[in-house]
Amino acid sequence: MKKLNKKKGFTLAELLVVVAIIAVLVAISIPIFTSQLDKARKATNEANLRAAKGAAVSEYLSTAEKTTDKIIYDYNIEAGTITAVSTAETEKTISEISTAQGNALYTKISVTVSGSTVTLAAE
């Protein structure tokens, strides 16, 4: 009687098929993952802009004298605090924005409050 030689394991062709399927799945998922990261960065920037605007207006209404002068506040993103840095004599060189732009996280947000006008700037 002959013994059947039962091999356990997978053939090379089967392993190559599995590797190819995994490679296709990875190639499909990487662009989706990076687009989700960009959306998350933009949402974080939007939340930071709203927090900076709210904190600056609150600080302006509670501490500023009732004048029409501009007051510029810098918002510390990591600590969530705001400080008055200057008045209208000092002009900021960063561009004004109304919504989050680009894919990089903001490192600094400045808010200019003048009466009923609030202007955001970020870099």
How far apart (Å, rounded) are the C-alpha atoms in residues 77 and 2? 77
Domain range summary for the chain, segments of one domain joined by +: 12-122
Mark out the alpha helices in 64-93 (DSSP H runs). none
| Strand ranges, E, within the chain | 71-76, 81-87, 96-97, 109-114, 117-122
Higher pLDDT, 23 or 67: 23
pLDDT exceeds 70 at position 95:
no
Half-sphere exposure of 113 (CA within 13 A, CB side): 25
pLDDT exceeds 80 at position 97:
no
**Which stretch of 45-49, 91-95, 105-109, 116-120 has the lowest confidence by average pLDDT?**
91-95
Q: How confident is the model at residue 90 (pLDDT cuts 50, 70, 90)?
A: very low
**Is 109 within 8 Å of 121 (Cβ atoms)?**
yes
The whole-model pTM stands at 0.65
How far CA 34 is from CA of 29, 30, 39, 99, in Å, comes to 9, 6, 9, 21
